[in-house]
Amino acid sequence: MSRPHLRRSRFRLAALATVAALSLAGCVGNGNDVSARARQPLSPKTLALIEEKGMTAQSPILVRIYKQEAELEVWKQKRNGDYALLKTYPICRWSGDLGPKVKTGDRQAPEGFYTITPGQMNPNSSYYLSFNLGFPNAYDRSYGRTGDFLMVHGDCSSAGCYAMTDEQIAEVFALGREAFEGGQKSFQVQALPFRMTPTNLAKHRNTPARPFWKNLKEGTDAFDVSLREPKVNVCNRRYVFNATPDAGRGFDANLPCPSYVVDPSVAQAVQQKQHADDMKVAELVASTPTAPNRAGIDGGMHPVFLAKFKEENPAYQEGPVVAAGPAPGTIPKTTRPPRVQDDGFTPIGAVASSPTATLIAVAQSDPAKPAPAAEAAQADPSRPGGIPMGALGFSKPAEPGQQTASLASSQSAQTAPLSGANTTLPPATFSTAR
């Protein structure tokens, strides 16, 4: 054995040495290179929750991210093919502001629909564990947007990423690993500015990004009414959802959309939801103040983490300190919170949207509670028939077990039980250790 190979073998004896060796080698390796942290099993509590909700450990997943609320949801497919919310994870830190990422260095975390394949999962991340969102996707590239290595990772530190605690990313990573092991080819991430409620849309009615957000809402509405992963394509520099083009035609992000067909039952349900939401937004505009200016504020932090950070760092305390209680993971000493109110988002001096104590209590007591829109969708699983709505871009939902693919875009925590401790990910190639 040559000295480099011997040296590399020795590096694999310890997790930190493994990270160093694989970073120098471009992070290319075989199954033995996968770090122990990436093989952590799901906890018995999480496995029990999965069973309780009619899912399996290896059933497909879908992820939703909400900037303003600083929350990440993991949805999982049930045995009947529908998706249901498994868990909601408070986000420890995100950077930038609401709105899409535009260029390298703007500190914006991406917004849009992204596809995560096994090769985007990084078991050797410098931020404990991570997965690459795949920015820029076809939509982003059609607008000339630039940026690389935009991740969901641990370490509670962000520069254009969504940062969790190490304990949280370990479980999210394990859920993705198990889904891939079960046969899912890729999972979808819906990265959103906020929960697409009429109240939020009314608050942000004057925001330049509003047309973009309305386009994103077409996709989230499709998911909410069908509880199936929407198939995503891009044409005419817009997202289209569940669209099947005429024979011999395809989608090009920079060209006009071809003729395509959609499933009328889902399309009608989406149309009804959009009409109801639009009516409610119009009703709320008169009584709802516009969102405050966040100029100079870099990102946000879930209030459960902000309260805990202030409790542990008296120098950051201003006025009364909110009782923190337990936080879902360890906040590194290098973390720097945004200068905002205790809700983790609102500028100091503006009116906060929700009582901070309520937000903290929900994060600590009921991590699997659905958002109101999702809860309503789950309560009414009917699939009504109706007229075609081609412009909305919807087609027949996937059959149970069928995988739908969206557009292919191209501190240390303790190793605690998080299922499948012996499963491994396919080799992944990374040009960064992020």
Active site (catalytic) residues: 153, 161
Residue 263: name the closest of 247, 241, 234, 237 by CA.
241
Helix, coil or strand: residue 387: coil
228 exposed, middle or buried (CB, 10 Å; 0-12, 13-18, 19+)? buried
Q: Which residues contact 95 (CB under 8 A, 6 or more apart)?
A: 107, 108, 109, 158, 159, 160, 161, 298, 299
* Cα–Cα distance measured from residue 357 to residue 321, given in angstroms and rounded to the nearest whole number: 11
Task: List all residues 6 or more positions away from 310 whose beta carbon is below 8 Å from its beta carbon.
Answer: 316, 317, 321, 322, 324, 337, 342
Q: Token pair 């049930």 is at which residue? A: 78
Q: How far is Cα 313 from Cα 186, in angstroms, rounded to an integer?
A: 40
β pairing state of 187-192 and 61-66: parallel
Read out DSSP for 41-83?
Answer: PPPHHHHHHHHHTTB-TTS-EEEEEETTTTEEEEEEEBTTS-E
